[in-house]
A and B are shown apart, each in its own frame.
Chain A
């Protein structure tokens, strides 16, 4: 369980998070939605200790993220930001292997090798495992990064817009894989996601943010209502039920 208690964050003088308080239950996929600049990524970064909060506390599995040792937290929580362009020429396998760094500090055991192979297989990367990252397409590289955080084998996975750079087909594959990770591996996955319909179809919980505040939260059924979405995104939205899925039309 992740408890978020009265988090406040400013960038210079602009308030980007205004007293956010909630709890994210164990298991399943929780999606954070909201307009640009609503504070979604900032909230995710603070949960993942990439940014300090100005006030408030966050506990992940009863550990305060601001005070617990970073290398201890790395075994419980992993975070992947949306821009992961780095210059290192690593192969996919080497990158995924660094997911084991919190446990091994780089000296991989046979057990680690197994975990690496599993993560590669889980994301269908086995054939690409000896390719360098800079030889891959954007979608393949994105999958490699997700394989790395999966290999980190943490209970909590925070992903900031994992569908970025992915086409229709690969976006669907990615969401199905995340669903599988939640269902089969029992991971608690928290996403920042722009595509409201992906959030509706694949998540268990939705947190909706507007101007730094958490305005609505609940199951997709509760959030996928035109009044709520119009309030969050400030644009006309119609909701249609298609094959028992709630789809937002805003085009």
Chain B
């Protein structure tokens, strides 16, 4: 029965993607696509890459959030609430200052490295904290994020790069063109990798003692999880920008509906994460047409509302 639902969700996502392909200032329709080469160019150079980017970034950020929640054993963390995204931005700024002409690949690697260091710092802080109530952990993450962004903003002001940094790190899909989004396929590969070893993440999420009892190589899984989180966050920030709340709300909603067996939930998280980003992008494109509001802004509004709902409706098991 559940596989039926998954199929429906998949069809829904295809519907959303097709909608996304045919929304925009240029009136691309099936007929013009066939007859007009300019329209065909618009379609394949901007619309298709944009839609693929939406799908990949949404799915990957959802899964990155899930992995972070399992590794910290806390439901209220995600890359943008744990200093990961902010560290990636700092990394991007460092490249912009030291090597402004560096190719996008270098930007990506440096941003991912910074994301890794930021996440490890967060994990280290968590270890030092004795009182681990479910809300202290995200608070620590937010404080760390604030400190890192403060450093980033200060440095950006000092080097007069505040505006260009803002343009990079706001989650905006309007600049996605053929040739400028392909790195996101790497993110897709990391998401598949996470699905491949999904059960190790479930076991790691049971805590260190359970994991050791079951013979899991806890350190290795921790390292692989951190790598996936850092690579996904780093690449998404370089190509698209920050997508706030996504990694938090999608895994939590899915957990409420079908539980936490990662092998079952990851396909759902991918589908719903992609759908939410596509929806936010479509709203952003339509709300003051022909101008665009970045998808991340819409996501911030929708995400914050769902986050509040989750906090109020917080299930018993997350309260500890």
A residues engaging B (CB < 8 A)?
Answer: 48-50, 69-75, 78-81, 84-91, 94, 98-99, 101-102, 105-107, 132-134, 149, 152
B313 lies within 8 A of chain A by Cβ: no
Cβ-closest 6 pairs across A and B:
A106-B199, A74-B215, A71-B215, A134-B317, A88-B260, A89-B259
CB-defined contacts of A71 to chain B, threshold 8 Å: 215-217
Binds A, one of B82-90, B203-211, B300-308: B203-211
B47 lies within 8 A of chain A by Cβ: no
CB-defined contacts of A70 to chain B, threshold 8 Å: 212, 215-217
A78's closest neighbor in chain B, by CB?
B213
B131 lies within 8 A of chain A by Cβ: no
CB-defined contacts of A94 to chain B, threshold 8 Å: 259, 261
B296 lies within 8 A of chain A by Cβ: no
Contact A106 B213 (CB under 8 A): no
CB-defined contacts of A98 to chain B, threshold 8 Å: 199, 202-203, 206, 214
Give residues 306-320 of B contacting A (CB, 8 Å). Answer: 315-318, 320
CB-defined contacts of A105 to chain B, threshold 8 Å: 199-200
**Which of A50, A88, A133 has the most B CB atoms < 10 Å from its CB?**
A88
A74's closest neighbor in chain B, by CB?
B215
B46 lies within 8 A of chain A by Cβ: no
B263's closest neighbor in chain A, by CB?
A106
Of the candidates A73, A85, A107, A134, which one forms a contact with B215 in the assembled complex, judged by CB atoms under 8 Å apart? A73
Of the candidates A50, A90, A101, which one forms a contact with B209 in the assembled complex, judged by CB atoms under 8 Å apart? A50
B208's closest neighbor in chain A, by CB?
A50
The CA of A84 and the CA of B73, in the complex, are separated in Å by: 13
What mask results when residues 209 to 230 of chain B are scored 1 for a CB within 8 Å of chain A, else 0? Answer: 1101111110000000000000
Of the candidates B75, B207, B213, B263, which one forms a contact with A80 in the assembled complex, judged by CB atoms under 8 Å apart? B213
The CA of A89 and the CA of B203, in the complex, are separated in Å by: 12
Given A71-B216, A74-B214, decide whether A86 and B259 contact each other with a Cβ distance below 8 A.
no
Contact A132 B217 (CB under 8 A): no
Give residues 231-290 of B contacting A (CB, 8 Å). Answer: 255, 259-261, 263
6 contacts between A and B (CB under 8 A): A49-B212, A50-B212, A70-B212, A101-B203, A106-B198, A134-B315
Contact B209 A88 (CB under 8 A): no
Contact B207 A86 (CB under 8 A): yes
The dominant DSSP class at the B interface is: helix
B74 lies within 8 A of chain A by Cβ: yes
Of the candidates B200, B208, B209, B260, which one forms a contact with A89 in the assembled complex, judged by CB atoms under 8 Å apart? B260
Contact A84 B210 (CB under 8 A): yes
CB-defined contacts of A133 to chain B, threshold 8 Å: 317
Known contacts A70-B212, A88-B202, A88-B260; can you find 9 more A-B pairs with CB under 8 A? A78-B213, A84-B210, A87-B74, A87-B318, A89-B259, A90-B261, A101-B214, A102-B214, A102-B215
CB distance from A47 to the nearest CB of B (A): 12
The CA of A106 and the CA of B260, in the complex, are separated in Å by: 14
CB distance from B282 to the nearest CB of A (A): 31
CB-defined contacts of B198 to chain A, threshold 8 Å: 106
Contact A85 B320 (CB under 8 A): yes
Of the candidates B206, B210, B215, which one forms a contact with A72 in the assembled complex, judged by CB atoms under 8 Å apart? B215
Contact B209 A91 (CB under 8 A): no
B199's closest neighbor in chain A, by CB?
A106
Given A87-B318, A88-B205, decide whether A132 and B259 contact each other with a Cβ distance below 8 A.
yes
CB distance from A81 to the nearest CB of B (A): 5
CB distance from B53 to the nearest CB of A (A): 31
CB distance from B137 to the nearest CB of A (A): 11
The CA of A70 and the CA of B74, in the complex, are separated in Å by: 26
Given A94-B261, A106-B263, decide whether A87 and B212 contact each other with a Cβ distance below 8 A.
no
Of the candidates A79, A89, A102, which one forms a contact with B255 in the assembled complex, judged by CB atoms under 8 Å apart? A89
The CA of A189 and the CA of B75, in the complex, are separated in Å by: 35
Given A71-B215, A74-B214, A101-B203, decide whether A86 and B73 contact each other with a Cβ distance below 8 A.
yes
Given A89-B255, A89-B259, A90-B260, decide whether A106 and B209 contact each other with a Cβ distance below 8 A.
no
Contact A87 B317 (CB under 8 A): yes
Contact A88 B200 (CB under 8 A): no
CB-defined contacts of B75 to chain A, threshold 8 Å: 87
Give residues 167-207 of B contacting A (CB, 8 Å). Answer: 198-200, 202-203, 205-207
Of the candidates A69, A87, A107, A152, which one forms a contact with B214 in the assembled complex, judged by CB atoms under 8 Å apart? A152
CB distance from B251 to the nearest CB of A (A): 11
Of the candidates B202, B213, B316, B318, which one forms a contact with A149 in the assembled complex, judged by CB atoms under 8 Å apart? B213
B320's closest neighbor in chain A, by CB?
A85
Of the candidates A49, A84, A87, A99, which one forms a contact with B320 in the assembled complex, judged by CB atoms under 8 Å apart? A87
CB-defined contacts of B318 to chain A, threshold 8 Å: 87
CB-defined contacts of B199 to chain A, threshold 8 Å: 98, 101, 105-107
CB-defined contacts of B214 to chain A, threshold 8 Å: 74, 98-99, 101-102, 152
The CA of A106 and the CA of B201, in the complex, are separated in Å by: 11
The CA of A81 and the CA of B210, in the complex, are separated in Å by: 9
**Which of A49, A87, A105 has the most B CB atoms < 10 Å from its CB?**
A87
